[in-house]
Amino acid sequence: MKKSEKELEVDNQRPDEIVVLQMRRHPWVLFNPFLVLYAVLIGTWILILIFGWPIFIIYFSIIAVAFIISYGSIAWFSYTHDLFVLTNQRIIKIDQKGLFSRKVSETELDNAINVNYEIHGMRKTLMNYGDVNVSTVGDEVSMIAIHDISNPHFVQERIIDLHKKYKAHLNSQ
């Protein structure tokens, strides 16, 4: 069977596995890093207006531009490489922490024992994003935390619905 262009895929996808939901963090998580970048840019312009262009301001400006480019690039890279994948069999969370650190958490749907979501703060409430926490059982009880995801109530309901379907499928075999 040939996959259509709209079908989602994930690395190490099983032959009978279907990607149901694939999401990134909410775009508003970039607000704080870009607020820092904006503050550095404004601070640099204020120094230029106060002192003109003496040599230390030129050096400071070069350092500020390098900081803005590298900090912004790392924030964007982390944002674009964080991923939550829900399949008809598994929950997968890829958490990119900087340029050279990545954590991948994965559990079978039948190992999920509790799913809840949290929305804290005015911005998250107004923009409808928050955290979904999936408690899992295996050798030990652990949790997969999906941070800053859009519409966390919908994600929670999808996980619970797929968990019930997966359990029913396993029991029917």
pLDDT tens figures, 71-111: 889 999 999 999 999 999 999 999 998 889 999 888 889 88
Token pair of 23 as six digits: 């999401």
- Alpha helices in the chain, H assignment, sequence order: 31-51, 55-81, 122-127, 152-172
| Angle made by CA atoms 22, 144, 28, in degrees to the nearest 5 | 55
Given a cut of 50, whether residue 4 has pLDDT beyond it is: no
**Residues forming a β-bridge with 134:** 115, 144
Domains of the chain: 17-173 (2.30.29)
- Which pTM was predicted? 0.80
Q: Residue written as tokens 């998250």?
A: 124
> According to the model, what pLDDT value does residue 8 have?
64
**pLDDT tens profile 43-70:** 888 988 888 888 888 888 899 889 989 9
